[in-house]
Structure 1
Amino acid sequence: FARGGHVGLGEYPEILRIASNPEKEFAAVIWHSDVTWREEPSLGSILRGVVIPETGGDTCFASAAAAYELLPDEIKSQIDDLHAIHDFTKSIGEKFNDEERRELQEKYPPARHPVVRTHPETGERSIYTNGYHTDYIEGVSPEESEKLLALLEKAIMSPTVQFRLKWEVDTFVMWDNRSAQHAVAADFYPDERIVERVTIIGDRPF
């Protein structure tokens, strides 16, 4: 398993505890694949429910391969050969000053990945951009990058490509980060929700 970076769980650095409560609202509510900011992002993830709210807090999963297949052909041809920059600090940048952010970027340098990833085992093509970590798309204007990223996020958000998991304590779920994205339903405030995650070491996207 991969280590949880600077936020591993004590003597178990490979375990990342993800908590939402009145002081830290709605963690992981943006659609994403895990740790795409690494040069070699995780192959998959395993998540366990620890504290589950009485109502809400489901995790929604989307097939990024199905979302790609449903794109218009002209969009596919536009994005098939593009690459994007993924930055660890994109989703947490507001929590740090400029110097702290630079230090984090030195420790976890931004990574360059294809906008459309090919699954190394199935050959499927999948959307590989996300709202948490994808900073911009190379080779297009900032305005076009923003437009394309919004379009791809909208494709992932389509209910036609989704599965919704209702949690219980000690529910375990495992998924393939190479072809799936996920997000938490932000519908359980002010209840507490805690899950623990490990990620499986992967390889470089192509």
Structure 2
Amino acid sequence: PPLTPFDHVDPASRALSHPDPRAFLANATSIVQLTPHLGEEVRGVNLATLDNDGRDQLALEVARRGLVVFRDQQDFIDRGPDFYLEWGRHFGRLHIHPTSGHPDGYPEVHLVYRDANATYNFERENRLTSTTWHSDVSYELQPPGLTTFFLVSAPETGGDTAFTSQIAALKRLSPQFVAFLRTLKAVHSGFEQAQYSRAGNRGGVVRREPVENVHPVIRRHPITGEDAIYVNRQFTRRIVGLKKEESDAILNLLYDHVDKSADIQARVKWQPYTVVLWDNRITAHSAIVDFAGTGERRHGARITPQAERPIPA
């Protein structure tokens, strides 16, 4: 059955009234912006020891920067799945992925795995590129907000994750076109993902029947008030009320805009014990599968709290 609706309280809202909403970074030894539009890299802050106020402030920082990379987080990663669940629940109701693997007894921990096995390289063998920009499980009625991800095994080189700012992407469009986009809604579907899994290409698990939901093409962030494009090539299928050719033309223009705009993107290289947090409401991302053929593997875990139903802009 579809997931039941719930009332989401964004923890970043509590940090807005804090006298120093970046106090959790007080011990940082380095804070470097990845790009002017998106992302920052932090060293010297132990995520595992943040109290509730610090976690609230972290949520606000991720909402404002879209993406924050924390290095040297062995303490966080070594604490294991019980800690991951406690961590994630601070930021929202934990999502159980309908088709992915998970550690035994911890379905809320979404595993990402790829090695030299052809099963995990189906996309690369059948497409010119494995790059697929997306916002995670956008087909849910209440898709994810703040998301936490780390790798436990990474190739010696390659296997980066690319991110793009859907806020910056929107700002590049002409005002007249944006005004039109604000009137539109789009269908996001999990059916193809379920079909792909049932075909055995990524393990064959389908825990619940797939769903479709309708979301605004432009959504508003509840904390920052920023507007962002909210369609993606992986899960968005059509614009409501338009003929197929019209819908395809608009969606493909937006997809191509996101694909080609390297000047609003950031790329994360996976050093040991790196933990990355991003806001799925205002960013898109893609794994860079450039290590196929090396015999190495890329194995990680994601904690994916859900957020509010997308707010029309």
- Equivalent position SS for 2:304: strand
Q: RCO higher in 1 or 2 (8 Å CA, sep ≥ 6)?
A: 1
Q: How does 1:146-185 map to 2 (within 5 A)?
A: 146-157=248-259, 158-185=261-288
Q: Which has the larger radius of gyration?
A: 2
Please name the residue that 2:157 is paired with. 55
TM-score (norm 1): 0.89
- Residue type at the aligned position of 2:111: R
Q: CA deviation at 1:75?
A: 2.3
**Cα deviation code 1:31-67 (max 9, x no counterpart):** 0111111000011211011111112111011110000
Q: CA deviation at 1:29?
A: 3.3
- Equivalent position SS for 1:9: coil
TM-score (norm 2): 0.60
Q: CA deviation at 1:173?
A: 0.3
Q: How does 1:127-146 map to 2 (within 5 A)?
A: 127-146=229-248
Question: What is the number of residues matched between the two proteins?
Answer: 200
1:13 aligns with 2:107: yes
Q: How does 1:183-202 map to 2 (within 5 A)?
A: 183-190=286-293, 191-202=296-307
| Contact 2:95 2:306 survives alignment (8 Å) | no
- Equivalent position SS for 1:10: coil
Larger deviation, residues 59-68 vs 48-57: 48-57
The structure in which a higher percent of residues are helix is 2
Larger deviation, residues 56-65 vs 189-198: 189-198
Q: How does 1:62-101 map to 2 (within 5 A)?
A: 62-96=164-198
- Equivalent position SS for 2:134: coil
**Cα deviation code 1:77-134 (max 9, x no counterpart):** 221110011111234534547xxxxxx6973321110011111111111010011111
Please name the residue that 1:204 is paired with. 309
**Runs (5+) with no aligned partner, structure 2:** 1-87, 89-93, 125-129, 200-205
**Runs (5+) with no aligned partner, structure 1:** 98-103
Identity %: 32
